[in-house]
Structure 1
Amino acid sequence: MTAYADFTNDFPRRCLEVLDAVSSGAAANGREITLLFMSSSARFLVPFERLKSDTSNSEHPFGDNKRYGTAAARSKDMLRKKFVGSVLCPSNSHSWHCAKKVASVECGLDSWLPNTDLKAFSKDRQVASILTLFRNALAHGNIYTVDDPIRELAFVKEVTSKQANMTCKRVGFEVIRVSHEDFLRFIRAWLGFWQDPAECAGSQP
């Protein structure tokens, strides 16, 4: 078992290799969605967290966004792009939908998902907002599957508002609903993005 060269490029590459190696076995046993959830957190979160820009309130302790400046710049550029039309969602024909004002997600999926005002992703929505929602949903276990057999996945992010006393109050939830095929394509594109610098170019400003 060779050591990682780094966790911003080498780790995503190995994740993609593992996904390719075991996908057929998982599908043969009806466990492809389980594999997708099991591996999504690590393969998505590691490069996202380690390369994002520092803020006045937060910075990653490892300093990879400084050590790997080129990769960090590519990541920052990608976050500014529009999600629909980017390498992460290249087609205008897709299953990505979002509801921004969901009052409650209690009592199981069937009790609230049918009543959410899900709308197709706006063409103006940036990659950063989508990845941040995924980051929160995966980190907190806010994930669901839709239908049996599974057709779609749902990701939930808590929305809070800062109060006068500097505490945060929950004001609702934001939900993304997407077919598992489109989410797998997104994950593969995300991993592939780190392998080819040309992927960061593209036609968008």
Structure 2
Amino acid sequence: MGVPDRFAIEYPRRALELIGMLEASARDNSLLGSFGLLAASAVLTIPFERMRTSHFLHDQARDDDLVENLKALEKADFLKAPFWRKAPDGGTWRQSRIVNTVDKVHKWSDQDGRDPRSEEANTIQSRKASEVLRVLRNALAHGNIIYLDKNGQEIAGNQMVYMAFLSRYEETAEQREQAETYRVVITTEEAFLHFVKSWAGWIGGLDLDRRVASAA
């Protein structure tokens, strides 16, 4: 395999090919959630970092289109973002906050005393794509991921249905001093893999215009 011309774009394309080769085996062995995390750790984290102007390998002349597309995600609603292959099921995604200790899942509470997994606490409908992506990216980078069963609980031996992604929430200095609070995104293993494949396909196609022009 050759050295890529644009790593941030060509790498996700190659990763998407590997996902296609291995997905059936992951399903057959009931490892879909772990497979999604395996793919996302690379497919989300690497391109996301390489699309930022602060990255030391960023080349303004070469990568300006990547930066523009990343900035566009700051204005796009997550559930309507341009990277989706098909519209996601909004009911499979949740975003909320955890203001108490995160290591006791059954005691999770948001700022209003609600269960962060509840529909009442869910803010995903109003979240921009960049907000959700940053939680996912931070969780993947720091290992802040918890498997949950069908009731949203972390009980060893139970079948995993949901995955919770946590990122430190530090809005004000006062909050940082008083407690560790986290942003949390929760989704199903199926919905997460759909996101991973959609994201990889979108990133891999960002230089389509350049490729068409080159082939003409």
TM-score (norm 2): 0.76
- The code of the aligned residue for 1:195 comes to G
CA distance in 2, matches of 1:88, 1:96: 16
- Of 49, 73, 76, the match for 1:78: 73
Secondary structure of the equivalent of 2:35?
A: helix
**Structure 1 segments unaligned to the other structure (5+ residues):** 200-205
Where does structure 1 differ by over 6 angstroms across 4 or more consecutive aligned residues?
Answer: none
The answer to whether 1:131 aligns with 2:133 is: yes
Percent identity between the aligned chains? 24
Relative distance call for 1:75 and 1:179 in structure 2 (3 A) is same
- Of 149, 155, 161, the match for 1:151: 161
Tell me which residue corresponds to 2:195. 186
Q: CA RMSD in A?
A: 2.7
Larger RCO (CA under 8 A, 6+ residues apart):
2
Relative distance call for 1:27 and 1:92 in structure 2 (3 A) is closer
CA distance in 1, matches of 2:187, 2:198: 15
Tell me which residue corresponds to 2:22. 22
Cα deviation, residue 159, structure 1: 1.6
- The code of the aligned residue for 2:26 comes to A
- Of 109, 112, 115, the match for 2:108: 112
TM-score (norm 1): 0.80
Secondary structure of the equivalent of 1:104?
A: coil
CA distance in 1, matches of 2:89, 2:30: 29
Cα deviation, residue 38, structure 1: 1.7
Cα deviation, residue 86, structure 1: 2.1
Cα deviation, residue 123, structure 1: 3.0
Cα deviation, residue 91, structure 1: 4.1
Tell me which residue corresponds to 2:204. 195
* Bigger shift: residues 121-130 or 64-73: 64-73
The count of aligned residue pairs is: 190
Relative distance call for 1:111 and 1:121 in structure 2 (3 A) is closer
CA distance in 2, matches of 1:132, 1:17: 25
Structure ranking higher in strand proportion = 1
Secondary structure of the equivalent of 2:26?
A: helix
The answer to whether 1:62 aligns with 2:57 is: yes
- The code of the aligned residue for 1:80 comes to K
